[in-house]
Structure 1
Amino acid sequence: MKKIYSILAALVLCGIVFNACKKDVNPSLGKDNPVAAIFVVKKLYKGTDVKITSEALTGASKTGGIVISNQSGKNFPQGTLIIQSLDRGQMAGLLVDLGAAEVPFVPGDSVVIDLEGGILSKTGESLQLKGLSAANIQKIASGKPMLARSVSMGALSKDFALYENTLIKITADTKPLPAAGDTYAGAKTLDDGSGSTVELLTKTEATFAGNSMPASATYTVIPVYGNADGNFGSTQQVRLRTEADVANASGPIYAGWPESFETPDASFKGSYNMNTPDVPDNNVQLKTGNWKLLHSIFGNTAGRDRFNEPGKQSIRFNQNLTVSALLQMNFDLPNGASKVTLWHGAYYTDAISTFRLEYSTDGGTTWVAAGPDVKAQSGGSRQETFALNIKGKVRFRINKLGLGPTSVPNVYNGRLCIEDIAIYSN
C-alpha cells in the first residue's frame, strides 16, 4: 500500500510540473497552486537580490521543469543546473547555482525545486537561483523530451534575455572561417549572414575544446551571460553542452546570402501571377539574383506573414491551387551545395500546406527533389535544414504543391510563407 501511495504522489508531482504554475485558486479547495512557473519566479527579481518566499509567490513554494544542462561536457561552471519549462505559451529557463557540488541530474530529468530560502541574484547579467542544494530538488521522471527552438540570429540578438537559459538551435558560419587546425576552444563568432552575430564560448577544459571547428553548422546551444574565462558574467554567449550538439556541418554560406526578400518593396509585385515590363513572366530582381515568383508575392503583414526580425518581408504563396506555386532561382551558384536552410510557416491562421525543395544542375531544364516533402509549420515558423552533397553549378526552387482547395481532413492547402533562404557552398 505504501508503494502505491508513493507512485500516486509521483504522478501528482508530474501533473504539477507540466501544468505549472497557474496561480488560479481552486474553487473546490480554496487553495493556490503550490508550484509556480519559472517565468513567474523570475519576475520576482527587480534589480537587487531577493529571497524567495511563498508569500511573494501567492502561496507557491516550488517550481519545476526539464533539465537541459549537461555537466559531462565540462563547458559550464561546476555546480550549474539549468532547467526549462513551457507554461501558458511561455518558454522560460532557470539557472540554479549549486556551488561546488556535483550535479546529480542529467538532461531529460523532470524535477521539482523547493524554493524556500532560495535567493534570486545576478552574477553580472546572469540571473541565477542561489542558496539551495541538491536536497531541495526532487527528480520525478527521466528521459523527458527537451524542446530546442529554432531561433534566428536577429531574434536572439533583440531579445537575448528572453532566450537565456533555454535550449535553442541556430544555424551559422564561423567568422572568420576556420583555418586548418582551428578548434572550438575560446570565443568564436557565429554569423548567419543576417547582420547579427553571437559569441560561441568553449571552455579550454571542455571535453570537445580540442576538436576541429566547422565552417558552418547547426548548433544546439544554451544562451547565457558569461565571461571569457568560462564563468558567468555580462557578455552574451551561447554554449554547447557536448559535441553531440553540433549537426549538419558544411561549407560556408555563399556571400550575400541568405536571401531575406527585403527588396524590392511588397508593392512591386501586387499580384500572385503577373506579366508586366517590370515583372516579366513573374521574374523579380532580388539582392542575390533574378527569381521567379509564380503564384507568390512579397508579404509584409505583421502578425500574419512569417518574417524574421529585423526584416519586415517574406514570400507568401497563394492557397487552394491545383498547380504548383514557385519561388525559383533563375541563376546558378558555382560551387555546388552542402546545405540549404530556410524558414517556413502557414500564413496567419490558414491551413497548413506542403512544399518541397528542388534543385537543378542543368540550368533549370530539369528539377530534382532535394529531400522529402515538408508540411508547413502551423502557428508560427521553424527552420528547415537540408543536408546535401551537390557538386558544380546548381540552382534551387521552392515548389508549393498544387493539392487543390482545402477540404479538411483530406486536403490542406493554405497560404505559405517562406523566409531567409541560405545556401552553403560545397
Structure 2
Amino acid sequence: MKKYIFFILLLLGAISSIISSCEKIHHRIDENIHYEDSEGNINDTTLVPITINLPEVSFTQKEFYSANLESEAILNSIIALIDAAEPESSIYMCINQINHEGILEAFKRADNRGVNLNLLIDMSRVEPQRVNPAAFNFLRGADMKNTQIWETYNDIADAAINENRFILFSKIETTEGSKEHIVFQASSSFTVADSRGAQDAITLSDEELYHAYLKYWNEMKDRAISGMTGYNYFFEILNAGNTEAHFMPYRNNGAVISGDVSLDFLNRISDPATAEVRIAMAFWDDNRIAILDKLIELVEQGAKVEIVLKSNVAATLSRFEVFESKGGFVRILNVNDNERPLTNFGSRFMLINGTYDGVVGTKVTVTGTLSFTANSLRNSNTAVILLKDDEVYNRYETFFNDLRSLPEYRASGPIYAGFPETFEHVPGLTGTGGTADVGVYIAGFDTPIYLSTGVWTFDNSGFRNQVTDKIVSPSHAWRSARPATGPSTYLAMAFDVPNGASKVSFYYGTWGNQSGANLGAPCTFALEYSTNQGSTWTQIGNVITEAAWTAKQVSFDVDIEGPVRFRIHRFGSPTNGADNGSLNIDDFAIYQKK
C-alpha cells in the first residue's frame, strides 16, 4: 500500500512541476495537443499557440523593480512568442545582450521545429563582449541546423554599439489562429540583469512596420563586421501617419545629420497650453540638452511636463532644476546609493497627449532603444517607434505613474516655483556684458527691489555684468561693494517662502582677477535664515572664506518648518584695513520641505 501511495505522490509532484513550469513561461496548454513524450518531457518540436491581444504591451512588475528583484514578465513573453513561431517561418533577432537560458532553450526548440533563425548579436563593446559569448557557445554547439548567427561590430566610434533589442516573427500561431508580420520591440536586453529594472516592450502585427524593421535588420547584417560608418538613417511613416519607425544612427553619407529626432517629436506639439508630456529616460547627457530646453519652453507655455530620471543621470544633467523651477515635475530614482533601496530602470519612452500634428486629443507613445545621449542618436544602432494609439498610451501612462510614485532620491523636496533667482529682472537694469560696469547699485538696505521671485533688499551692492563678475545665468550677478573698512553687506529676501525648506543652493565667486588689474581678494560670508519675518537671523553651516575665481556652487541641507526667508551676510572689513573681497552671488535656489 505504501508503495502505491509513494507512486501517487510522485505523479502528483510531476504534474505540479509541469503546471508550474507552464505558468512561468505563460504558455496556454491546449488539452487536445500532446506536448509530452512517453517520459513526460516537453516535445521540442511541438508548436505552442500563444494567447495574445495585439498590440500587446508588457512591463516588468513594480513589486519587483522597486526592490531591484528579477521580473520575468518581458522575458517570458519572448519565450512564448518563440514557442509560437510556426514551422518554416522565420525569426530575425537583433540584440545588444543575451544570456537568458529560457530564451536560448526556446530558440533551440524553434530550430528543432523547423523555424529559420537569423540572429544578430552585438560584440561592439565591453558589456556585450562579457555577456554574449555564453550565448554564442550555446547556440553554435546545439546542433541547430536552421540557425544563422552574426556578430555585430559598430565601427563608427569607440563608444558606438548595437543598442537594438527587437525580434521579428514572420508567422506565429495564436489561440485565435495564425498571425503574420510580428514586431517585438523592447527596452531591455534579454538578460536576467536587465529584468531587475523597470522595462517595457511592445508587440505589434503590422506588415509595413515588419518590412521596415526587416530592411533595417538586413542593413545591420550587411554591415555587421564593418561599414557602419556608411549607414544612412531612414524612417517610415505608416498607417496614415499613425505609426512611425526611425532607425539610427542619425547619419547620412558618413556624416552626422544636424538636428535631433526626439526634439522633432516634441516640436510637433501645436498647442502647448493644453499638452501633457511624460518622459521616462534611463540615459541623458548634456550633449542633447536642447531637449530639456524645449521642455522648459513647453512648461513656460502652459504644458504639463513630467520626467523620471535615474540618480546618476541627474547628477550630470544640467538645467533640470531650472525645469523644476518653471513648474515641471522631476522624480529622481536611486540607482547608486546602496545604503538605500535601489530602483533601476532601462525604459526610454515619451508620452504626449494633446494637439499633435494639428489633431486635437492625440495620444502619442514613443518607445524603443533611443535614449537622450549623443552616442545613442548619432553613433549607435537604435530604433524607435511612434504610435498614435489610445490604448497603448493608457497602458504606458499607468506604467509611468508607477515610476513617478516611487521614492524620491533627493533628500530635498521640489524647488520653489520661480527659483532659482537669477537677479536679472530689475527695473532699469540694462547691458549684456563686456567691460562696461552696467547695473544697479543700492546704498540703502531698506530699498526694495522687485525680482522675479519677490521683493529683495540689499545695500552697498548691486547687479553687475563686468567680465570680472562671476555670472552663471544669464547676464548679471549680485555683487557686493568692497570698502577697505566698513559694516557688513547683505542680500536679503523681504518675503517668506511658505512651505519650509529642505535645501538652499547658490553660486558664488570672488569679484576681480586672480592677478593684474582688478585684483580680487577672498571674501568671507555666510548664509542665514529667519522664521520671524527678518526680526532675527540664524547662521546656516560654516562661514565661507574662499577666493573662487570661477563660479562655484554650494548647497546647504536644512530642515526648516513653516514660512522662512534667507539672506547672504558678507561680513564687514576689519578696522585694520585688511580687504574682505567683493562677492558675487547668482542662481539662488530654495527647495521645499518634503
Q: RCO higher in 1 or 2 (8 Å CA, sep ≥ 6)? A: 1
* Structure (1/2) with the larger helix percentage: 2
| Max Rg structure | 2
TM-score, normalization by structure 1: 0.46
Give the structure with the larger strand fraction.
Answer: 1
